[in-house]
Amino acid sequence: MRLILATVLSALMALPAMANPISLQEISRYFNSFTTAQGSFTQINADGSISTGTIYINRPGRVRFEYAPPDASLVMAGGGQVAIFDPKSNQPPEQYPLSRTPLNLILERNVDLTRARMVVGHTSDGTATTVVAQDPQRPEQGSIEMVFTANPTELRQWVIRDETGAPTTVVLNDLTKNVQLSSFLFNIPYEADRRR
């Protein structure tokens, strides 16, 4: 019996170990390790269309998605609001509270994914860790599914599902952290005036 047990144990030890997911504490530490970041992104929309551009992050509460030409669209968050600038419209930008979007969870001053009921999924496929988070007070407002790689911990992509469940995927490339960013990048009234 001991020989059989020893054989089974040695066989199990010879199998490649499935990597444990990166801990929620470590992922929270990663977000809290930087205030600003800039990099390129590729966006896959719910209808299958693809856009590219540059993302600027200035935590807490500010982000800017600047789409590459010929797309002159712009999505930005600042002052507690998200604004969507549509170059085809002569109307002011569509605006709504940042607190109503899942992106708010990673733009907080102090990200803490260990908060009760915030994380509803936390898995690893052996090469990447996936975390699904939502606002426990407002789960109906959608979720954010984030993919991280380890050593060092890096955010590679996220999928935001709105209240209808429609997904928008953003793949991040060469994100450089703790860079100098102008406050005008996140100033919605300034951008609205500039585009008039």
Q: What is the pLDDT of residue 174?
A: 87
Q: If pLDDT is split at 50, 70 and 90, which confidence band does 111 have?
A: very high
Token pair for 151: 């050593």
Under 8 Å between Cβ of 26 and 4: no
Q: What is the pLDDT of residue 91?
A: 83
What architecture is domain 19-191? Clam (2.50)
The dihedral formed by the CA atoms of 116, 27, 66 and 100, expressed in degrees to the nearest 10: 0
pLDDT over 90 percentage in the chain: 66
Average pLDDT, the chain: 87
**What mean pLDDT comes out for the span 95-108?**
90
Q: What is the pLDDT of residue 11?
A: 40
With 0-12 CB in 10 A as exposed, 13-18 as middle and 19+ as buried, what is 181? middle
**What mean pLDDT comes out for the span 116-135?**
91
Sign of CA dihedral 183, 185, 186, 191: positive
Q: What is the pLDDT of residue 155?
A: 96
Q: If pLDDT is split at 50, 70 and 90, which confidence band does 70 have?
A: confident
Q: What is the pLDDT of residue 137?
A: 82
In the chain, domain spans: 19-191
The residue among 9 and 85 whose pLDDT is bigger is 85
What is the per-residue pLDDT across 160-186, written as a single tens digit (0 to 9) for each?
A: 987 788 899 999 998 999 999 999 999
Nearest to 129 by CA among 31, 17, 16, 24: 24
Rg (Cα) of the chain, in Å, rounded?
A: 20
- CA–CA separation, 53 vs 171, rounded Å? 11
Q: Is the pLDDT confidence value at 26 over 70?
A: yes
